[in-house]
Structure 1
Amino acid sequence: MPEQPKQTDPATTDDPNVNPHLKSKKPRSKRRVGLWTYIISIIVALGVGIGGTYWVLGRAVTQQINSMQQTSSAMKKIQSVYATISDNYYEPVNSNKLANGAINGMVSSLGDKFSEYMDKSETESLNDTIDSSFSGIGAQVQKSGSYIQIISPIADTPAKKAGLKPKDIIKKVNGKSIAGKTLTQAVNLMRGKVGTTVSLEIERAGKTFTVNLKRAKIPVTTVDYKMVGGDKKIGYVTVSTFSTNTAKEFKTALKALDKKGAKKLIIDMRGNPGGLMTAALKMASMFVKNGKTIMQVQTRGAQAEKYVAGKKYDGGFKETKPTTVLIDGGSASAAEIFSAALNQSAGVKLVGSQSYGKGTVQTVSTFSDKTEMKITVAKWLTPNGSWINKKGLTPDVKAAEPDYASLTVISKPDNLKAGKVNDDIKTLQQYLKALGYFKDDANGYFGGSTTDAVKAYQKHAKIKDNGEVDKNTLTRLETELANKIGDNDNAYNAALKLMSK
């Protein structure tokens, strides 16, 4: 049988691409262990079993012969094009560049944003981040058309603090368009030393603005917890990603909350971009009875393979407290697997808004020249067999963020001048309206009513009330709005109410 490429778990996307050289030599498979610690999505090791054979021998042999004939014909055509260009193009051609272009074209033709090819330099750059701390902006991203889309900003990172949201489109990095660049190329532009600044042009809901982020070390700790709900004694656990140590951290958190007297649990998966499938399986198994399904994986032409809860994953540790899980549009991949498992196999209610919807499995093949290829090889299904790809999980209790939680960042504070008309002024008016200082419609014109609203806010903030929006006024506004968003966390409040019954 032909050598099988390394298989990985369903992860949110953005990672590598790869290089299958136009040679007869088979690619050398190599299992990579560890988290894709990048500002991108995390690829996870998941052993996907090769399905059983369901064809009669004659049919299988016939199909294999037909496949070989088709492959032979296709390869002859590729070789002919390669030779023609190499021998006849009017300028000398770099053979490696030509081969990489052909490979890239084949992978791109799949039309699958999760299937990518990465040349040697891109592979080395990405591998530098595996299993180590890294610096960046702290957002998981994926390819979206010609540009890059944010899946989810990671908690307590520059991207999250700057107000970036799931589905924001990154169009420029440091003033340069990233149209047409590979995911890895775009990500590398956003990486850099801790403390340095990167400028991103963001498109959100048809509007464009610029935000400057100071790169930081992305937090390694992925689980946080505390007691909430007063005498209701509710344990609140947040999980930012699924990394190598997340399951261990999660178990420690659950035990610590138990010692504190927690009687119920709220697990917050909002903004969690996913990660290691092994971590999701271990964590879900803690809540699901042994033998019940956590997830399913279905390869082409095969029956779905079930992954069931048991000591293999949870080590015999079980959590039986009443629980609810928070999800939103930034909950993806492994976060969705965990949430779906608890919902469908343990009767746990989901609260919040529709999750991201990442329901495919990728393999990563590493070749002898240190290039890589990642392609989608399977679907992952929820315990009841649903495929949530591009759909997401629907919460049992819907509780969306308030409208003002999605306001854009003011890109050019210098635009906030009396007498001007622009989108930044419209955003300023929306800030003031959300805080109760602006009563008119936000029209983008800095007139008398806007000046009065700014003055009223400045008096409230006990700063110079001249009606002019300086840096101090804007910073105070943004901080107060952020606090209001936190205080009016509809999903959290709904979960707290549900667990307080």
Structure 2
Amino acid sequence: MSEEQQQPQDPDKKVNPHLKKKSHRPKKRVGLWTYLISIIVALIVGVGGTWLFIGRSVNQQLASMQQTNQAMKKIQAVYETISDNYYQPVNQNKLANGAINGMVNSLGDKFSEYMDKSETESLNDTIDSSFSGIGAQVQKSGHYVQIISPIAGTPAKKAGLKPKDVIQAVDGKSVAGKTLTEAVNLMRGKIGTTVKLKIQRGSSTFTVKLKRAKIPVTTVDYKLVGGDKKIGYVTVSTFSTNTAKEFKTALKALDKKGAKKLVIDMRGNPGGLMTAALKMSSMFVKNGKTIMQVQSRDGSSEKYVAGKKYDGGYKVTKPTVVMIDGGSASAAEIFSAALHQASGVKLVGAQSYGKGTVQTVTSFNDKTEMKITVAKWLTPNGNWINKKGLTPDVKATEPSYASLTIVSKLSDLQADKVNANVKTFQQYLQALGYLKAKPNGYFGVSTTKAVKAYQKHAKLTADGKVNKKTLAAIETELARKINANDKAYDAAMKLIAKTK
């Protein structure tokens, strides 16, 4: 789910982070009398040994129906008791929504939820990749909300938020006890307005201010890389309505530019629509071969195989490498697993997220929706990667300083102060090679000396004081160093160079 909505996980709008969307009205319950007439007709046409089977089946269905009726009567009794006797007037819609939410929450599944009208609109915006907010795919984590992945080019990504960061509060309001959609709504708002998040990363806690923005609609980016510019590098941020089309356009454009090999970067991709993953995977998988399997609760599996139905006849046969990490989830894992197991494509990076379930959405007449998990999805080989993820063939992780927290309060960075922000700032200086001493959180002589050295290097006033300009310059240089030391990217380039 994105801060705008899930995935599909997801898909992961979501994102989704939901994988697959189906809109239909809830089925009407069959009346008891109609049901009994159906039973009588069935018994009349039955013969021989069929009688016993039908009788048992009828008894089982009647027992199930009786249990359902008893449960519904109890819910109705509670509803009427509260509505008629509570000491204050009760909003009946709120009461009904609370009952529905209670049932869905009782599943204990963070990917299943009931959404009111505004939340439904948010989900649809996510699927269409046309929303405003901070640009982070999120999910429920205990009492709080956890980031699955920040989307490239968004405020969340630019601010340095990372997968597994936990959002504890929004604008000073704790998200503890709130539904995922309630927390998401706190983060949404008009473009250009500011939102403040309290973030927990490991044992550290910090606050960051983000300016809401329109999240980029384009989900696919590409360019030619490598010494001879013959490697096509494609990044996919999410799996939304237009992603498969954008992906095919990117691949064809790279063809025209002379790309001989491909590196497809799925890092930080929280997933989205399963249909998009099927279309994109089919481009790399031979017709008739399995892309994925969906297993229903009765254990039966449905195989989805590559073919013109998904790829329109467009196939890619170039040597390819796929990059993954802990932020690659849901549809991104479907795509990566399909290419890996059905086409022998190597995976590079870190263990993926591990979301192995499929969600569908039921739409109601009042413009609310319910998203629930309906099945497991399995890789072409029949593996269920839920909570396990995909293991890369070549493991390559980010440098340790890539996971540093954000300095949340500039005024903390003053001589003789002792606090967590000073320690983080010292780690910045250490990563850049300006501080030799061990970071201890105390802004002393060694830290002042390191600041002066950096300021001299950056052609700033070398007074050892940390102002906004100095901090921004250090953060920018650190970001450049992280990008320059992208071990996974380097490993992927090395591998694709050898691939024939």
Q: Normalised by the size of structure 1, how large is the TM-score?
A: 0.88
* Structure 1 residues 71 and 15: CA distance shift in structure 2, 3 A: farther
Residue identity over aligned pairs, in percent, reads 77
Paired with 2:187 and 2:3, the residues of 1 have a C-alpha distance of 17
Give ranges in structure 1 of 5+ residues lacking alignment.
1-10, 18-34, 49-55
Alignment correspondent of 1:204:
201
Alignment correspondent of 2:211:
214
Paired with 2:64 and 2:226, the residues of 1 have a C-alpha distance of 62
Alignment correspondent of 2:369:
372
Query: What are the within-5 Å matches in structure 2 for residues 75-114 of structure 1?
Result: 75-114=72-111
Query: What are the within-5 Å matches in structure 2 for residues 352-431 of structure 1?
Result: 352-431=349-428
Secondary structure in structure 2 of the residue aligned to 1:210:
strand
* Residue type at the aligned position of 1:440: A
* Structure 1 residues 163 and 471: CA distance shift in structure 2, 3 A: same
What per-residue deviation string (whole Å, max 9, x for no partner) do you get for residues 426-484 of structure 1? Answer: 00111011111111111111111111111111111111111111111100100000000
Shift of 1:405: 0.3
Query: What are the within-5 Å matches in structure 2 for residues 215-234 of structure 1?
Result: 215-231=212-228, 233-234=230-231
Do residues 289 (structure 1) and 286 (structure 2) align? yes
Alignment correspondent of 1:51:
none
Shift of 1:13: 10
Alignment correspondent of 2:312:
315
Q: 1:274 aligns with which of 246, 271, 275?
A: 271
CA contact (8 A) 1:12 1:332 kept: no
Q: 1:259 aligns with which of 244, 256, 261?
A: 256
Do residues 43 (structure 1) and 40 (structure 2) align? no
Shift of 1:82: 2.4
Do residues 115 (structure 1) and 112 (structure 2) align? yes
Alignment correspondent of 1:248:
245
* Structure 1 residues 312 and 92: CA distance shift in structure 2, 3 A: same
What per-residue deviation string (whole Å, max 9, x for no partner) do you get for residues 188-210 of structure 1? Answer: 22112222211111111021111
CA contact (8 A) 2:320 2:346 kept: yes
Shift of 1:391: 1.3
What per-residue deviation string (whole Å, max 9, x for no partner) do you get for residues 328-366 of structure 1? Answer: 111111111000000010000100001111111112111
Alignment correspondent of 2:327:
330
What per-residue deviation string (whole Å, max 9, x for no partner) do you get for residues 370-411 of structure 1? Answer: 222111111111111111111111111100101000000101
* Structure 1 residues 261 and 127: CA distance shift in structure 2, 3 A: closer
* Residue type at the aligned position of 1:284: S
Alignment correspondent of 2:343:
346
Alignment correspondent of 1:161:
158
* Structure 1 residues 405 and 292: CA distance shift in structure 2, 3 A: same
Secondary structure in structure 1 of the residue aligned to 2:145:
strand
After TM superposition, the structure 1 stretch with the greater mean CA deviation from structure 2, 222-231 or 351-360, is 222-231
After TM superposition, the structure 1 stretch with the greater mean CA deviation from structure 2, 174-183 or 386-395, is 174-183
CA contact (8 A) 2:192 2:211 kept: yes
What per-residue deviation string (whole Å, max 9, x for no partner) do you get for residues 97-154 of structure 1? Answer: 2222221111111111111112345435555666363221111111112211111111
* Structure 1 residues 59 and 315: CA distance shift in structure 2, 3 A: farther
Alignment correspondent of 2:296:
299
- The size of the alignment, in residue pairs, is 467
Paired with 1:59 and 1:385, the residues of 2 have a C-alpha distance of 34
Secondary structure in structure 2 of the residue aligned to 1:362:
strand
Shift of 1:14: 7.9
* Structure 1 residues 447 and 392: CA distance shift in structure 2, 3 A: same
Query: What are the within-5 Å matches in structure 2 for residues 143-154 of structure 1?
Result: 143-154=140-151
Secondary structure in structure 1 of the residue aligned to 2:310:
helix
Do residues 436 (structure 1) and 433 (structure 2) align? yes
Q: 1:456 aligns with which of 453, 456, 481?
A: 453
CA contact (8 A) 2:320 2:345 kept: yes
Aligned CA RMSD, in angstroms, stands at 2.3
Q: Please tell me whether Structure 1 or Structure 2 has the larger radius of gyration of its CA atoms.
A: 2
* Structure 1 residues 210 and 354: CA distance shift in structure 2, 3 A: same
